[in-house]
Amino acid sequence: MPPRVTIVDVAARAGVAISSVSSALNNRPGVSDDTRKRILEAAEDLGFVPSLRGRSLSAKRAFAVGLVVHRDPYVLESDPFFGSFIGGIETVLDPRGYALILQMGSERVETLDRYRSLAANRRVDGVFLNELGVDDPRIPLVQELGLPAVGVNAGPAFPLPAVRQDHGRGIAELVDHFVTLGHRRFAHVSGPHEFIHGHQRRRAWGDALAAAGMEPGVVVEGDFTYEGGVSAADRVFGGGSREARPVHPTAVFCSNDLSAIGFMARASELGFRVPEDVSVAGYDGIELGTYVRPALTTIRTNPRLIGREAARMLLDAIDACPEGTRRIPDVDVDPAHLLVRSSTGPAPLQD
């Protein structure tokens, strides 16, 4: 293996001091444009790859950001939303030479300890706050720790920079779709009560039904998993078959696609045909929804775009952190929108 090219080699090739190479490679002032160009050309000719350790010491940064997922590890295995979200983050981090540190914390205390450890050991320069909860203790914690942070789909009074995608438009489109198909009996499988985005989707669903002059119908709490959708179907249909439940909700909106797929599977086991007896729609627009039968009607989001914007904002917040005077503006990406497939259809006749 050939010896590793160092900053000393670059300085010798360019005929400058080591300090000048450091300034040029880290885009700091103190060298002329001609000298900077000569240094960069020398580094490229030699195939110089900056040492992350040396870069971190020089810039006093970790060149890493953190994402602590406050859910059961099974979520990352089963929900493609997270893969797309992380993929969007990486499109921004990699060109900037940053790494993503991903950790899991299924219990609240464990999750908070993860943030404390990341900050205490200076392993990250900032963090993402996703799946925000009501009165989320992570918010005052990262402020206390002095960690730059960006929230994902935060509430309106969120005190830190946030990227948001509006739930309301897509859900209103779904309600209009159901009503146009003749549905008058509705059910909603919500997200867990502690998550803000679960509240947001439930409220948008209720508001859209009220605007259409419809009753809110049945609401059961789910947990964003396939199994949660299965359990929700039992509660919506009272555990009974189609013959035992001649009058039942005919249009069901689940707060995410995984729970909608589980709901459809259990409804079929109970004898309810989708969409002939009950129309089912989800939220997220994961690719898996195109492969189930019937293909899932959903409200499509853009987790890759959300991840990309969140990463861009977080790096901007990190750059602004030393001054502490520049507030990174919030970003609203294009709203989620309805994608109609074959799991929704005309309302059946009911007694």
The pLDDT value given to residue 149: 95
126 contact partners, CB below 8 Å, separation of at least 6: 65, 66, 147, 148, 149, 150, 314, 315, 317, 318, 321
Q: For 64-164+303-332, which CATH class?
A: alpha beta
Query: Would you identify the CATH topology of the domain 168-301?
Result: Rossmann fold (3.40.50)
CATH number for the segment(s) 7-57: 1.10.260.40
Task: State how far the alpha carbon of 207 is from the alpha carbons of 172, 175, 212, 215, in Å.
Answer: 8, 10, 9, 10
Give the pLDDT confidence of 254-263 residue by residue, as tens digits: 999 999 999 9
**How far apart are the C-alpha atoms of 341 and 326, rounded to whole Å?**
45
| Residues 81, 302: Cα–Cα separation, whole Å | 9
Query: Under DSSP, is residue 349 helix (H, G, I), strand (E, B) or coil?
Result: coil
Q: Do domains 7-57 and 168-301 have the same CATH topology?
A: no
pLDDT of residue 241: 62
Q: Where are the domains of the chain?
A: 7-57, 64-164+303-332, 168-301
pLDDT tens, residue by residue, 139-159: 999 999 989 999 999 988 899
Stretches in the chain below the pLDDT threshold 50: 56-57, 323-325, 351
Q: Which two tokens stand for residue 16?
A: 């400058």
CA 51 to chain centre: 31
Residue 18 is predicted with a pLDDT of 77
pLDDT digits (tens, 9 = 90+) for 319-351: 887 544 457 899 999 999 999 999 999 999 864
Supply angle C-alpha 244, 184, 248, rounded to 5. Answer: 10
Give the burial string for 117-129 (b: 16+ CB within 10 Å, else e).
ebbeeeebbbbbb
Integer CA distances (angstroms), 284 to 24, 97, 306, in order: 44, 30, 12
- pLDDT for 53: 52
pLDDT at 240: 64
| pLDDT of res. 94 | 87
Report how far residue 97's alpha carbon sits from residue 85's, in angstroms, rounded to the nearest whole number: 19
Q: What is the pTM of this model?
A: 0.80
Name the E strands within the chain. 64-69, 99-104, 126-129, 149-152, 162-165, 186-190, 218-221, 251-254, 279-284, 297-300, 331-333, 337-339
